[in-house]
Homo-oligomer: A and B are copies of this chain.
Amino acid sequence: MAKLYSTSDDLGDTMSRWIGLLQVDPTVGDLTGNAARLEHLASLASSQGAHVAVTTELAISGYPPRDLLLQEEFISLAQKTASSLRVEIPVLVGTPILPQAKRQLPANGVVRAGSSGAHPSGEGNSHVVARKQLLPTYDVFDEARYFQPDNRSGIARTIANLNLGVTVCEDAWQTAGLTPSTYSADPIEHLAEWGRQGVLLDATVNLSASPYHADKLSSRIHVCRTAAAVLGHPFLLANQVGGNDDLLFDGNSLVAWPDGRVVVAPAWQEGVLMVDIDGAERCHWIPSQSPDALNIGSDALRHISADDDGREYDKDLLEDLTDAVVTGLSDYCRKSGINSIVLGLSGGIDSAVAACVAAAAVGPQNVTGIAMPSRHSSQHSIDDARHTAESLGLVFDTIEIDSFHASVEASIGGMLRDGHPVASENLQARLRGLIVMAHANAQGRMAIATGNKSEIAQGYCTLYGDMAGGYAPLGDLYKMQVYGLADVLNARAEQAGRTPPINASSRTKPPSAELAPDQKDEDSLPPYPTLDAILHCHIEEGLDADDIAAKGFERSQVVEVLTRLERSEHKRWQMSPAPRVSTRAFGQGWRRPLASRHDWRY
Chain A contact residues: helix, strand, loop or mixed: loop
B411 touching A595, Cβ below 8 Å: no
Cβ-based interface call for A438 (8 A): yes
Interfacial residues of chain A within 344-399, with CB under 8 A of chain B in the complex? 397, 399
A92 CB to closest chain B CB, in angstroms? 24
Interfacial residues of chain A within 287-341, with CB under 8 A of chain B in the complex? 331-332, 335-338
A403 CB to closest chain B CB, in angstroms? 6
B438 touching A331, Cβ below 8 Å: no
Cβ-based interface call for A600 (8 A): yes
Number of copies: 2
Q: Point out which of A407, A412, A468, A593 has the most chain B C-beta atoms below 10 A from its C-beta.
A: A412
A420 touching B403, Cβ below 8 Å: no
Cβ-based interface call for A62 (8 A): yes
In the complex, residue of chain B having the shortest beta-carbon distance to the beta carbon of A434: B430
**A427 and B438 in contact, given A28-B596, A336-B600 (Cβ under 8 angstroms):** yes
Mark contacts of A440-471 with chain B using CB atoms, 8 A cut-off: 1 yes-contact digit, 0 otherwise: 11111010000000000000000110001010
Partner of A244, one of B70, B437, B576, B597: B597
B404 touching A426, Cβ below 8 Å: no
Please, which residues of chain B bring their CB within 8 A of the CB of A401?
A: 411
Interface size class of A (residues with CB under 8 A): 35 or more
Cβ-based interface call for A145 (8 A): yes
Please measure, in the bound complex, the distance between the C-alpha atom of A219 and the C-alpha atom of B404, giving whole angstroms.
Answer: 56
Cβ-based interface call for A142 (8 A): yes
Interfacial residues of chain A within 403-435, with CB under 8 A of chain B in the complex? 403-404, 407-408, 411-412, 414-416, 419-420, 422-424, 426-427, 430-431, 433-435
Please measure, in the bound complex, the distance between the C-alpha atom of A212 and the C-alpha atom of B414, giving whole angstroms.
Answer: 42
Q: Point out which of A73, A426, A435, A602 has the most chain B C-beta atoms below 10 A from its C-beta.
A: A602
Please, which residues of chain B bring their CB within 8 A of the CB of A423?
A: 438-439, 441-442
Please, which residues of chain B bring their CB within 8 A of the CB of A397?
A: 414-415
Please, which residues of chain B bring their CB within 8 A of the CB of A587?
A: 67
A399 touching B426, Cβ below 8 Å: no
Cβ-based interface call for A245 (8 A): yes
In the complex, residue of chain B having the shortest beta-carbon distance to the beta carbon of A61: B597
Please measure, in the bound complex, the distance between the C-alpha atom of A440 and the C-alpha atom of B416, giving whole angstroms.
Answer: 10
Please measure, in the bound complex, the distance between the C-alpha atom of A420 and the C-alpha atom of B133, giving whole angstroms.
Answer: 50
Please measure, in the bound complex, the distance between the C-alpha atom of A336 and the C-alpha atom of B600, giving whole angstroms.
Answer: 5
Please, which residues of chain B bring their CB within 8 A of the CB of A590?
A: 592
Cβ-based interface call for A251 (8 A): no
Partner of A464, one of B62, B73, B408, B433: B433
**A245 and B67 in contact, given A437-B426, A442-B415 (Cβ under 8 angstroms):** no
Cβ-based interface call for A187 (8 A): no
**A419 and B404 in contact, given A28-B597, A66-B593, A595-B577 (Cβ under 8 angstroms):** no
Cβ-based interface call for A400 (8 A): yes
A442 touching B419, Cβ below 8 Å: yes
> 3 nearest interchain CB pairs?
A419-B442, A336-B600, A423-B442
Interface residues of A (CB under 8 A from B): 27-30, 62, 64, 66-67, 70, 73, 103-105, 137-138, 142, 144-145, 148, 180-182, 243-245, 331-332, 335-338, 397, 399-401, 403-404, 407-408, 411-412, 414-416, 419-420, 422-424, 426-427, 430-431, 433-435, 437-444, 446, 463-464, 468, 470, 544, 570, 574, 576-577, 587-588, 590-602
Known: A420-B441, A423-B439, A430-B433. 4 other contacts (CB 8 A): A29-B597, A64-B594, A138-B145, A464-B468
